[in-house]
Amino acid sequence: MTTASDRPCPVRRVAMISVHTSPLDQPGTGDAGGLNVYVVETAKRLGMMGIEVEIFTRRTSAALAETVQLAPGVLVRHIDAGPYEGLAKNDLPGQLCAFAAGVMRHVARSPEGHYDLVHSHYWLSGQVGWLAADRWDVPLVHTMHTMARVKNAALAADDRPEPGGREIGEEQVVRASSLLVANTPREAADLVALYGAEPAIVEIISPGVDLAAFTPGDRAVARAAVSLPEAAQVVLFVGRIQPLKAPDVLLRAVARLLAQAPERRERLVVAIVGGPSGAGLERPRRLQQLARELSIADVVQFVPPVSRDELVQWYRAADLLAVPSYSESFGLVALEAQACGTPVVAADVGGLPDAVGDAGILVDGHDPDDWAHAIARLLDDPVRLSSLAARAGAHAADFGWDVTTERLLDVYRHACHQSAEDVAELPVPSFAGVPAAPIP
């Protein structure tokens, strides 16, 4: 793909669509996670580049204003679609018509050509983005974030498969998109192999990390800030509490760890930072119960979702971050931890190999014994831990959001350029046998 400077097509205003989760939501709660971070960070930086961004999301509270300024040049527009509370993500397909109608009503007040393109996030948003882009005659750029067929191929034992309706919806969005943004080469290959995407419309852009916020710091200070003993061995999990993220695998591994070396119990702290989500909402206390059943409740701390500033302190305080997910399109938490100088032990799935690079350990599979062995090897080898910590910061430094956003803007301009070329190639109509003048 050529660069932004090669293109004559300006991008002035972008409509982003995020139906099922708001950029204003706290990551780690409900359905808010990496997608929210991606939308917020890229929109803010597009705004700094002089691109106006309007993000359409579903209103989940009567207290939310119709329009909220997220950052200079970035507006969040709340659309009424279904009840404000108590609507699960799997119920949202039935509200897409109402959501799309709300978007159309809002935009009807704007002049023609108000948006240069639509960027939709997740398949539900893609369904609305498809309609909006077609109605406004602008390109549709779509980012999947996760895909049903990928998730269904790697389900946790107690997780539910994604419904067939989602697979169909994703296929439709792939066919309707002008360009698809994939986080990694593996995700790009999945789009082609599992959804029939044309390779020429798939662009690979790695997500990023806020390198100004996530930085190394003094471990003792960080541990004091989150009330951890200075001499502890700290294993951290950050994410939504649901089977897909596999926090239970970590707890079972910790039980094996303590069974093999009971003396670890005096120093070991396992911190689980996040809130129930997805299937985890059905049994919100299941993980606490499992810790009791495994007789490790005394070493496990459950921490509700925290602000970004506090999350930085948790990363700095940890000896390592564990990411045992069954599926991850990328794994932003791994990159955030590494930016803070914390090594990562992650499952060898999805985009995690790209996120971790050579600054951590990848575990093949989800056998608790394998995870216990990988964690023990690091905790018992301070020299290796220190070496990985140094590499972690260097690896994360290549993944700033500024780079991601510049690449994304290239994709936007490419989509607009291709759209302009398509219009220019349309046949020129003739009237009464007299050819019309060529389109200049």
Which segments are annotated as binding site for 1D-myo-inositol 3-phosphate? 20, 31-36, 89, 122, 146, 166
- Secondary structure letter of residue 38 according to DSSP: H
What tokens appear for 77 in the block?
Answer: 């527009």
Q: Is 252 exposed, middle or buried (0-12, 13-18, 19+ CB in 10 A)?
A: buried
CA distances from 318 to 224, 268, 360 (A): 12, 11, 14
- Could you tell me whether strands 268-273 and 179-182 are parallel, antiparallel, or unpaired per DSSP bridges? unpaired
Question: Do 359 and 391 contact (CB within 8 A), yes or no?
Answer: yes
What residues are designated binding site for UDP-N-acetyl-alpha-D-glucosamine?
A: 26-27, 34, 240, 245, 306, 328, 336
Interatomic CA distance for residues 404 and 145, integer angstroms: 15
Rg (CA), the chain: 23
- Secondary structure letter of residue 184 according to DSSP: S
Interatomic CA distance for residues 39 and 440, integer angstroms: 37
Interatomic CA distance for residues 414 and 4, integer angstroms: 8
Tokens 């069954």 sit at which residue? Answer: 326
What tokens appear for 361 in the block?
Answer: 């350990």
What residues are designated binding site for Mg(2+)?
A: 315-316, 318, 342
CA quadruple 349, 353, 356, 361: dihedral, nearest 10: 70
What residues are designated binding site?
A: 20, 26-27, 31-36, 89, 122, 146, 166, 240, 245, 306, 315-316, 318, 328, 336, 342
